[in-house]
């Protein structure tokens, strides 16, 4: 773009009454990211000198959600129209810059369309418009040849003007030297006693400043969200576009309509994803990874050749090459699996490091543990890492075999190539290269026993 200085004003003060929610409208999410975050990301891609967000309903909640962003925040205490909202940003507008006015409830706004609009705004007012099959309720773009002469609201339009299909999106760009002048001359002499930003078109025409409209063919990219119905519809459009991009990259999707990406999904070659899978946060799938149906994967890296069976949940975990996970497995935060590992049905891992070739195939809980290479952990095994107040770690060294229905009471170490007999409750370190078992012959009760207390740090 040839614009040397760009200011972007994002209007995000609306309450969103039709959302029927206590959450500010702009903080509802599309694809796992707030509506306003989508708009801000588009703004940042345009390399502006500054971004100004006009906020209102939700106040500090909205600001706090973007505390890490370099944004100038301006509060619109009273909702007196879009023109009034932009007036609040005047102190931040540079005289020698161009401003792009964006809407905080239009999450699919297109970067390229915005670039084209900004380029068109050299010494004139440029409006983004689109052709609507049923334009009822929209402001009509009235033209004289190619120049725009007015934006007429539906309720004020004549019968002839209501036949116009080209409508206003609310997104526009213009030099600040003109914008500041027009904002100072806005009037609220109308039925709603509000200051309309669209009235600057009439002021531009009076000042002999040309007004142009750039037509976009992507209606969804200029569609705002006003209700949960809108939110649901745009979520589906967003997910469809994500799915199409994945397909174009070579990912095999069993059904592109049954995929949800709520973050960033990076895929290698020959990745296959079955239906109803949800990817959250940052997920990377290596070459030849296969994800079966109904899996939920969040903030995970899954290396090449690994297969994830159905109904597996993975959260903040790292999985090595050619592993086999699931079905119905759960990998919780802090879990790292090396290559050739197997984690089977109804196995839960938390903060566990499992090394190459080890297997935990059935109905086990392994938490706060280091598992060596080529370890076999039998069905129903539990690392008892929590004594009711504090957590401790279990160490299982290379080649160990843990028999079914065993409990390893941490802190405890199982030596290299050790075998733990099925049904054992291990409370002491088990030596290497030996069979260890512990099976109580009688049930006992200890009266007056006190639970451990949390250790003060």
| Catalytic residue selected from 28, 38, 178, 362 | 362
For the segment 49-70, what is each residue's pLDDT rounded down to a tens digit? 999 999 987 778 999 999 999 9
d(CA 116, CA 112): 6
327 backbone dihedrals φ, ψ, rounded to 5°? -75, 165
Q: Where are the domains of the chain?
A: 6-222, 228-436
| pLDDT for res 3 | 56
Element (H, E) at 131: strand 125-131
d(CA 216, CA 111): 12
For the segment 68-111, what is each residue's pLDDT rounded down to a tens digit? 999 999 999 888 999 999 999 999 999 999 999 999 999 999 99
Token pair of 86 as six digits: 């932009």
Q: What is the percent of the chain where pLDDT is above 70?
A: 99
Mean pLDDT of the chain: 94
pTM of the predicted protein model: 0.90
Mean pLDDT, range 309-328, rounded to an integer: 98
CATH code of domain 228-436: 2.160.10.10
Token pair of 259 as six digits: 């995929």
**Domain 6-222 class in CATH:** alpha beta
Tally the C-alpha atoms within 13 A of residue 142's C-alpha that lie toward its C-beta: 19
314: CB partners within 8 A, 6+ apart: 295, 296, 297, 298, 300, 302, 308, 325, 330, 331
Question: Is-catalytic flag, 28?
Answer: no
Can you list the positions of beta strands (E) in 134-203?
140-144, 147-152, 166-175
Residue with tokens 């709603």: 192
Mean pLDDT, range 295-299, rounded to an integer: 98
Inter-axis angle of helices 111-120 and 35-45, nearest 10: 50
């Amino acid at each position: 773009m040839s614009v040397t200085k760009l200011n972007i004003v994002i209007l995000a003060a609306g309450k969103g009454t039709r959302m029927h929610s206590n959450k500010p409208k702009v903080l509802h999410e599309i694809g796992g990211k707030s509506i306003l975050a989508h708009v801000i990301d588009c703004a940042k891609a345009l390399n502006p000198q500054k971004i100004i967000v006009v906020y209102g309903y939700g106040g500090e909640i909205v600001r706090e959600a973007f505390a890490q962003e370099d944004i100038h925040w301006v509060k619109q205490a009273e909702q007196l129209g879009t023109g009034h909202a932009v007036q609040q940003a005047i102190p931040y507008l540079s005289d020698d810059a161009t401003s792009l006015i964006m809407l905080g409830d239009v999450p699919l706004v297109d970067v390229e369309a915005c670039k084209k609009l900004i380029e068109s705004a050299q010494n004139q007012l440029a409006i983004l418009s689109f052709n609507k099959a049923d334009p009822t309720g929209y402001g009509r773009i009235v033209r004289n040849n190619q120049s725009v002469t007015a934006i007429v609201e539906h309720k004020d339009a004549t019968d002839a003007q209501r036949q116009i299909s080209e409508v206003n999106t609310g997104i526009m760009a213009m030099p600040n030297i003109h914008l500041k002048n027009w904002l100072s001359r806005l009037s609220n002499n109308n039925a709603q006693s509000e200051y309309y930003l669209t009235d600057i078109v009439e002021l531009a025409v009076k000042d002999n400043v040309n007004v142009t409209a750039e037509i976009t063919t992507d209606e969804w990219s200029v569609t705002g969200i006003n209700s949960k119905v809108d939110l649901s519809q745009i979520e589906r459009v967003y997910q469809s576009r994500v799915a199409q991009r994945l397909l174009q990259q070579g990912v095999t999707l069993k059904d592109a309509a049954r995929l949800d990406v709520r973050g960033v999904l990076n895929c290698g070659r020959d990745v296959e994803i079955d239906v109803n899978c949800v990817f959250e946060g940052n997920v990377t799938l290596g070459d030849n990874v296969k994800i079966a149906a109904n899996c939920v994967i969040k903030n995970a890296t899954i290396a090449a050749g690994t297969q994830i069976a159905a109904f597996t949940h993975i959260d903040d975990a790292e999985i090595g090459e050619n592993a086999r996970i699931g079905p119905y497995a759960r990998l919780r935060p802090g879990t790292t699996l090396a290559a050739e590992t197997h984690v089977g049905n109804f196995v839960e891992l938390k903060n566990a490091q499992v090394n190459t070739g080890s297997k935990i195939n059935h109905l086990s809980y392994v938490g706060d543990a280091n598992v060596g290479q080529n370890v076999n952990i039998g069905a129903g095994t539990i690392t008892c890492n929590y004594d009711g107040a504090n957590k401790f770690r279990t160490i299982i060294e290379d080649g160990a075999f843990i028999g079914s229905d065993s409990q390893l009471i941490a802190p405890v170490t199982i030596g290299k190539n050790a075998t733990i007999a099925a049904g054992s409750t291990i409370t002491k370190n088990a030596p290497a290269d030996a069979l260890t078992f512990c099976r109580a012959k009688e049930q006992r009760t200890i009266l007056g026993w006190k639970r451990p207390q949390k250790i003060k740090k």
